Amino acid sequence: MTDAHVVGSGIVDFGEKYEWSFDDLLEGAYLDLVESVDHGINPTADIDAIWYGTLDIANEGSSGAAVAHATGLFEKPATQIVNACATGSDAFRNAVQAVKAGDIEVALVIGAEKMLDSTEGLIGGAALERLWRGRGVTMPAFFGMRATRHMEQYDTTREQIAEVSVKNHENGTKYPHAHQQFECSVDDVMESATVSYPLNLYDCCPVTDGACAVLVTNDERSREFTDAPVRVAGYGFSTDSFMRGDDLALTNFPASRQASSMAYERSGYGPDDVDVAEVHDCFSITELITYEDLGFCEQGEAGAFIDEGIPHLDGEKPVNPSGGLLSKGHPIGATGVAQIAEIFEQLRGDAGDVQVPDAEVGLQHNIGIGRNATGAVSCVNVLER
Amino acid sequence: MTDAHVVGSGIVDFGEKYEWSFDDLLEGAYLDLVESVDHGINPTADIDAIWYGTLDIANEGSSGAAVAHATGLFEKPATQIVNACATGSDAFRNAVQAVKAGDIEVALVIGAEKMLDSTEGLIGGAALERLWRGRGVTMPAFFGMRATRHMEQYDTTREQIAEVSVKNHENGTKYPHAHQQFECSVDDVMESATVSYPLNLYDCCPVTDGACAVLVTNDERSREFTDAPVRVAGYGFSTDSFMRGDDLALTNFPASRQASSMAYERSGYGPDDVDVAEVHDCFSITELITYEDLGFCEQGEAGAFIDEGIPHLDGEKPVNPSGGLLSKGHPIGATGVAQIAEIFEQLRGDAGDVQVPDAEVGLQHNIGIGRNATGAVSCVNVLER
C-alpha cells in the first residue's frame, strides 16, 4: 500500500472575478499548477484522473466533463464531488483514496466556484433551505446562535470572537492570493454592521470567486515531480446531525471532533504536533469553535487561546496564515483545495510573508453545512514534509 | 490489495413518485438493502462510509449529509458524487476505490433522483445548456443527430433502431421495478409522436423518480454478508469531448470505448466473455451505438446485431434484461446503481423472470453528457460471480 503525497499546487487569486468564466477559473488554477511543478510535468501523459470540486453555483459544470474541457485532459476519469462547504476537501480525499488503491498513480484535484454570479446570495441567505430558511435561520444566524451559546456557556467575550477576524485579516494582507486585503481592529469588527447578532459584517467571510488545484501521487512517483513532496499522513471525514440532543452540537461541531480523531489516529500525530493549521473560519466564531474541536485547547477555552496569541502568525500554533476564509475568501469548491495548497507551501518553506518557521506537520480542516438544514460534514487532513 | 465485492442491493420501484420525498426515496432503497442482505447487517456498526449519487435535481440534497439524515448513518464519511447521467456509476467507482485502498471495509452506495419535481424537464429540454440549448440542441436532438449519421453511414434502418425499444419494453414487463411496463411493436415505436427526428416518443426513456443502493466490501468481509458475493473484476471510466474532429464521436462515444477497454484490461475479460449486460439506453439509438462501443459487434454492425436477436433475453448476449432506461426509467443518480444491482442479481441467479441462465460475467455501462455541452463521461464495470 502506497501513501499519497502532494507534489504541486496552483491557484488563481481569489476575488471578484466577474470577467472570468468558470472555465477560465479552472484553466487558471490548472495552468498555474502545471507551470509550478518543481521538476516539470507532462500533463497529458502524467495525470491519470481528475477529481473536481464545485457546488456548481453558477450552474455551468455538472459533470467531470467540465474540468476535462477547461484543462484539455480528455480520455481520463474525471469526477465531480459535492459536499457543501467541504466540497474541495472531499475531492482531495477521494483522489487520495484512488492513489492509495493503486488504480491510478497521479491525480489532479481542482476546485472552483463562481459565487458572485449566483443570484441566491448563497452565504448570506441560503443554505438551510428546507426546514429553517423560512424561519430566518440563514447561515449567519446559524453560526450566530453558536456564538451566543458559547458566550453564555463559557464566558467567551465578543472581543475574543472579533480577535479572529483581526488576526486573519492581518495575515491576509501578507498573503498574495487573498480577496479582502485590509487590516481591521477589534473596534472595527464590533462597529461594523450587524448581520446576525452577535456577528457583524467583519465576522463573516466575503463572497468570493476562485479556483485552486493540487497534484497528488504515490510513493514511487512523488520524487519525479519534486524533491520536497508533502505526505498525507492521515485524514478523517465525518458527517453529523444537528437534530440530536447533543449539547456539544450547540457550541461545537461533533463531526469535526470525529474527523480530527480519525486523522490523528491514522497519522500518529496529535494536536500538539501540529505546527501550522488552515481551518474553516466562515465566521469568526467558527474558528474559535474549531480550536476546541481539533483539540488545540480544552472545551470552552478558545477565548483564552486567542487572547494568549497562540494562533497568531508569530504564536506557538499559527492558524490560518493565509488569512483564512475571512480574508482570503470562500469560493466553496476551491476552499478546501486552497487550504491544502497553503499547507503544502508551508511545509515546503515556500509560504513567503506568511511562512511559519520550521513547520513540519500541518493540519487542514474544512466543514460544510448541508443544504437540507440538519447535517454537517467535516474533513481533516494531517500532512507532513 | 483487496478486491471489491458487491454483497447486497436494494431498490424502490421506479416510477412517478410525487408522493415520495427525496428522503423517502433514499430511505426506501436503503431499508430494502438492509432487509435483503443474506446474512444480515448491523448498519451502524458495519457500514464505514457512504457514496451518494445525485444530480440533486429537486435541489434538496447538496451534501453527503442528505444521505446521512435519510439513513440515520451519522459519524461516517458521506460524499456526494455528480457526473451527469453516469453519476450513480461514479459513486460506485469511488466506493470501490476506497475499499481497495483499505481505508474502509464496507461502503454503502446509494443513488436517487426526483426527476418529476424538476421544472426544467431535464431529459427533454436541458442538458446542453451553455452553448447549444438556445440553438435547439436538446438531448433528443443530440442523440437524434447520432441516429441520422449512423443511418447514413452504416445503412442502419429506422426499424433496427426501434427494435431496441421493443426489446427493452418487453423485458421491462417482466422486471418488477420498471416504470413503464407495456409492450410495444416496431410499428408502435415508429408511429409514436416525433420528438426529434428520427427519434419518436417510444425511442426516449421516460422521466422517472427512483432510488437504488448497493453494498460494497473487501475480500475479508464479503462472506460475512453473503455466500454469493459478486466481485468487481474491473472498471473503466473516461471523459471525452464532442468538439474534436473525431469521426467516431459523431456515430459513437469514444469515452465508452476507452472505459470498456480499461475495464476489459483490468478484469482480464473481453466482450466475448460477457454473459449479460446492462447498458445506457437513454434513447434507442444509444443502445445500438453501445453494442459497437463495447465491442459486442463491429463498428456499423449494430443493426444486424439486434436483427439477429443476439441482445434479446433469449439471445446469445442479453442486453438490458431489466428493461433498461427505456422501460425501467432513468432517475439519474439511481440509474448506474440500479444497473449494478441488476447485474448483481443476475450473477447470483436472483433475477426472476428476466434471469439469464448461468450468467457468470456481467457488464454494466453508463454514459453522461456534460451540461456544459461538449463532454461525455462513460463508466464500465465488469463483475463476476
The separation between CA A73 and the C-alpha centre of its own chain, rounded to angstroms, equals 25
Residues across chain A: 385
What is the mean predicted confidence (pLDDT) over A178-206?
A: 96
Closest CA to B173 of B332, B312, B328: B328
- Contact (Cβ atoms closer than 8 angstroms) between residue A295 and residue A260: yes
Closest CA to A325 of A137, A129, A115: A115
Q: Say how many domains are in chain B.
A: 1
Write down the pLDDT at residue A100. Answer: 95
Dihedral sign from CA coordinates of B155, B160, B165, B168: negative
What is the mean predicted confidence (pLDDT) over A177-194?
A: 97
Domain that holds residue A322: 4-119+204-384
Which among A82, A90, A101 has the least Cβ separation from residue B62?
A82
Closest CA to B253 of B207, B275, B285: B285
- Contact (Cβ atoms closer than 8 angstroms) between residue B175 and residue B323: yes
Contact A55 B65 (CB under 8 A): no
- Of the CA atoms within 13 Å of residue B379, those in its CB half-sphere come to 29
Closest CA to B164 of B329, B276, B309, B300: B309
Q: For residue A194, tell me if it sits in a domain.
A: no
Q: For residue B138, tell me if it sits in a domain.
A: no
Chain B residues close to A381, C-beta within 8 Å: none
Mean pLDDT taken over chain A? 92
- Contact (Cβ atoms closer than 8 angstroms) between residue B238 and residue B156: no
Nearest CA in chain B to A128: B60
Contact A97 B103 (CB under 8 A): yes
Per DSSP, what are the bridge partners of residue A367?
A378
Residue B184's SS3 state is coil
Contact A63 B370 (CB under 8 A): yes
Q: Please give, rounded to a whole number of angstroms, the shortest distance from the CA of B357 to a CA of chain A.
A: 32
Contact A81 B81 (CB under 8 A): yes
**At residue A314, does pLDDT exceed 80?**
yes
Q: Please give, rounded to a whole number of angstroms, the shortest distance from the CA of B209 to a CA of chain A.
A: 19
pLDDT tens figures, A124-143:
444 445 555 566 777 888 89
ipTM of the complex: 0.92
Chain B residues close to A69, C-beta within 8 Å: 241, 243, 370, 372, 374-375
Q: What DSSP line would sit under A193-236, residue for residue?
A: PEEETTEEGGGBPPP-EEEEEEEEEEHHHHHHH-SS-EEEEEEE
Nearest CA in chain A to B368: A63
Contact A65 B97 (CB under 8 A): no
Question: Which amino acid is it at B104?
Answer: I
What CATH number has the domain bearing residue A318?
3.40.47.10
Closest CA to B363 of B273, B303, B301, B266: B273
**CA–CA separation, A293 and B273 (whole Å):** 53
The separation between CA B60 and the C-alpha centre of its own chain, rounded to angstroms, equals 22
Which among A49, A68, A377 has the least Cβ separation from residue B63?
A377
Write down the pLDDT at residue B247. Answer: 63
Write down the pLDDT at residue A336. Answer: 98
Which among A60, A239, A376 has the least Cβ separation from residue B130?
A60
Chain B residues close to A241, C-beta within 8 Å: 65, 68-69, 74
Which among A74, A98, A129 has the least Cβ separation from residue B241?
A74
In the numeric block, which cell numbers belong to residue A229?
Answer: 513532496
Which helix (H) or strand (E) is B194 found in, with range? strand B194-196
Q: For residue B73, tell me if it sits in a domain.
A: yes
Write down the pLDDT at residue B60. Answer: 60
pLDDT tens figures, A74-113:
999 999 999 989 999 999 999 999 999 998 999 999 999 9
Which of A25, A74, A242, A267 is the mutation pick for testing B, counting most B CBs within 10 A? A74
**CA–CA separation, A368 and A242 (whole Å):** 12
Which among B77, B239, B375 has the least Cβ separation from residue A238?
B77
Chain B residues close to A97, C-beta within 8 Å: 94, 97-98, 101, 103
Q: Please give, rounded to a whole number of angstroms, the shortest distance from the CA of B99 to a CA of chain A.
A: 8
**CA–CA separation, A290 and A302 (whole Å):** 8
Contact A97 B98 (CB under 8 A): yes
Q: Which residues of B does the annotation mark as catalytic?
A: 85, 330
pLDDT tens figures, A19-50:
999 899 999 999 999 999 999 999 999 999 99
**CA–CA separation, A71 and A43 (whole Å):** 9
Q: Please give, rounded to a whole number of angstroms, the shortest distance from the CA of A167 to a CA of chain B.
A: 30
Residue B373's SS3 state is coil
Contact A83 B64 (CB under 8 A): yes
Contact A63 B377 (CB under 8 A): yes
Contact A94 B98 (CB under 8 A): yes
- Contact (Cβ atoms closer than 8 angstroms) between residue B363 and residue B342: no
Write down the pLDDT at residue A56. Answer: 77
Chain A residues close to B25, C-beta within 8 Å: none
Which among A90, A101, A241 has the least Cβ separation from residue B69?
A241
Q: Which residue has the higher pLDDT, A371 or B385?
A: B385
Write down the pLDDT at residue A304. Answer: 98
Write down the pLDDT at residue A321. Answer: 98
Q: Which of A294-298, A320-324, B74-78, B260-264 has the lowest mean pLDDT?
A: B74-78
Chain B residues close to A49, C-beta within 8 Å: 237
Write down the pLDDT at residue A373. Answer: 47
Write down the pLDDT at residue B241. Answer: 80
- Contact (Cβ atoms closer than 8 angstroms) between residue A234 and residue A268: yes
- Contact (Cβ atoms closer than 8 angstroms) between residue B270 and residue B363: no
Write down the pLDDT at residue B163. Answer: 98
In the numeric block, which cell numbers belong to residue B149?
Answer: 449519421
Q: For residue B332, tell me if it sits in a domain.
A: yes
Q: What is the pLDDT along chain B (385 residues), one digit of tens a residue?
A: 899 999 999 999 999 999 999 899 999 999 999 999 999 999 999 999 999 999 877 666 678 888 988 999 999 999 999 998 999 999 999 999 999 999 899 999 999 999 888 655 455 444 455 555 566 777 888 899 999 999 999 999 999 999 999 999 999 999 999 999 999 999 999 999 999 999 999 999 999 999 999 999 999 999 999 999 999 999 999 998 876 666 667 888 989 999 999 999 999 999 999 999 999 999 999 999 999 999 999 999 999 999 999 999 999 999 999 999 999 999 999 999 999 999 999 999 999 999 999 999 999 999 998 655 456 899 999 999 9
**CA–CA separation, A254 and A262 (whole Å):** 12
Nearest CA in chain B to A2: B101
Q: Please give, rounded to a whole number of angstroms, the shortest distance from the CA of B35 to a CA of chain A.
A: 24
Contact B64 A258 (CB under 8 A): no
Closest CA to A252 of A146, A333, A122, A130: A146
Burial of residue B13 (CB within 10 Å: 0-12, 13-18, 19+) is middle
Write down the pLDDT at residue B257. Answer: 94
Write down the pLDDT at residue A298. Answer: 97
Which of B67, B79, B235 is the mutation pick for testing A, counting most A CBs within 10 A? B79
Nearest CA in chain A to B379: A77
In the numeric block, which cell numbers belong to residue A162?
Answer: 472579533
Could you give the angle at the alpha carbon of A276 between the alpha carbons of A167 and A319, nearest 5°? 20
Contact A75 B370 (CB under 8 A): no
Which of A62, A240, A242 is the mutation pick for testing B, counting most B CBs within 10 A? A62
Q: For residue A159, tell me if it sits in a domain.
A: no
Which of A3, A108, A372 is the mutation pick for testing B, counting most B CBs within 10 A? A372
Judged by phi (left if over 0) then psi (alpha if -120 to 50, else beta), residue A323 lies in left
**Helix and strand numbers, DSSP H then E, in chain B:** 15, 11
- Whether the upstream peptide bond of residue A77 has omega within 30° of 0, thus cis, is no
Q: For residue B147, tell me if it sits in a domain.
A: no
Chain B residues close to A63, C-beta within 8 Å: 82-84, 368-372, 375, 377
Q: Which residues of A does the annotation mark as catalytic?
A: 85, 330
Residues ≥6 apart with Cβ < 8 Å to B18: B116, B117, B209
Write down the pLDDT at residue B371. Answer: 56
**At residue A160, does pLDDT exceed 60?**
yes
**CA–CA separation, B190 and B141 (whole Å):** 17
In the numeric block, which cell numbers belong to residue B68?
Answer: 446521512
Q: For residue B288, tell me if it sits in a domain.
A: yes
Q: What DSSP line would sit under A120-151, residue for residue?
A: T-HHHH-SBTTTTGGGT--HHHHHHHHHHHHH
Could you give the angle at the alpha carbon of A230 between the alpha carbons of A38 and A381, nearest 5°? 140
In the numeric block, which cell numbers belong to residue A301?
Answer: 477555552
Contact pairs from chain A to chain B, CB under 8 Å: 213
Contact A238 B76 (CB under 8 A): yes
Q: For residue A344, tell me if it sits in a domain.
A: yes
Which helix (H) or strand (E) is B78 found in, with range? strand B78-82
Q: Which of A213-222, A242-251, B289-298 has the lowest mean pLDDT?
A: A242-251
Contact B372 A1 (CB under 8 A): no
Q: What DSSP line would sit under A41-53, residue for residue?
A: --HHHH--EEEEE
Instruction: Give the pairing type, strands B199-200 and B194-196.
Output: antiparallel
